[in-house]
Amino acid sequence: MTTEEKSTSAPTIGLSPVAFVLIALALLVYSAALCVNPARANDLFWQLRTGQLIAVQHIIPHQDTYSWTRTGTSWVAHEWLAFALFWICYAKLGFGGIWLMTVAITIAIMVVFYTLVLKETSRASVSGGKGAPATALLLTAFAAVVAGAFFQPRPHLFTYLFCLLTLAVLMKVRRESASAVGQDAKRRSERALWLLFPVFVLWANLHAGVIIGLGLLAAFAIGDAAVEFVRARGGLEPAGYPWRAVALSTGACFVATLMTPYGIQEYQNFAATVSNSTVLDVVAEWASPNFHDAFGKLFEAYALLIVAAAFLTKLRHDPTELAVTVVLVHEALIGSRNVPIFVFLGTVLMGRHIQSSLIRLLNGNRLPEENGLVVLPPDSLFGPSPSIIVAMALFVVLGMAAMLRTAETLKQVAPAEGSTINRLALASIQYGDYPSAAVDFIERERFPTKMRMYNTYDDGGFLIWRMPERPVFADSRADVYFGPNFAEVRKVTQGTLAWRDVMDQHGVDFIVSPVSEAQSRGYLAAPDWALVYVDSPDIDKHKSTYESNNTFIFVRRTAEYAPLISRCRHDCPELTHMQSYSQYLSLR
Q: How far is CA 250 from CA 153, 172, 210, 347, in A?
A: 29, 16, 12, 23
CA distance 578 to 263: 59
Pairing of strands 529-534, 453-455: unpaired
pLDDT for res 588 = 46
Contact 295, 336 (CB under 8 A): yes
Q: Which residues of the chain have pLDDT under 50?
A: 1-10, 539-544, 578, 588
The residue type of 474 is A
Q: Which residues contact 510 (CB under 8 A, 6 or more apart)?
A: 447, 451, 452, 453, 454, 553, 554, 555, 556
* Exposed e or buried b per residue across 509-520, where buried means at least 16 C-beta atoms within 10 angstroms of its C-beta: bbbbbbbebebb
Q: What is the pLDDT of residue 544?
A: 47
Q: For residue 262, what is the DSSP state?
A: S
3-state secondary structure of 510: strand
Which positions ≥6 away from 138 have C-beta within 8 Å?
394
Q: Which of 478, 367, 336 is nearest to 43 (CA)?
A: 478
Instruction: Quote the pLDDT of residue 368.
Output: 60
Edge-to-edge order in the sheet of strand 510-514: 453-455, 510-514, 551-556, 529-534
State residue 509 phi and psi, 5-degree precision: -100, -35
CA gap 221, 250 in Å, rounded: 8
Share of the chain above pLDDT 90, in %: 50
The string of pLDDT tens digits covering residues 84-132 is: 999 999 999 999 999 999 999 999 999 999 999 999 988 876 665 677 8
Q: What is the model's pLDDT at position 567? A: 93
In the chain, how many H helices and how many E strands?
26, 7
Q: What is the pLDDT of residue 470?
A: 95
Which strand (E) or helix (H) includes residue 127?
none
244: which DSSP letter? H
H-type alpha helices, 448-513: 460-466, 484-493, 499-506
How many angstroms separate the Cα of 526 from the Cα of each of 23, 487, 503, 523, 588?
Answer: 61, 23, 12, 5, 9
331-377 pLDDT tens trace: 999 889 999 999 999 999 999 999 888 887 877 666 666 555 666 66
Residue 28's nearest CA partner among 136, 132, 106, 116 is: 106
| Phi, psi of 166, rounded to the nearest 5 degrees | -65, -45
3-state DSSP helix/strand/coil % of the chain, to nearest 5: 65, 5, 30
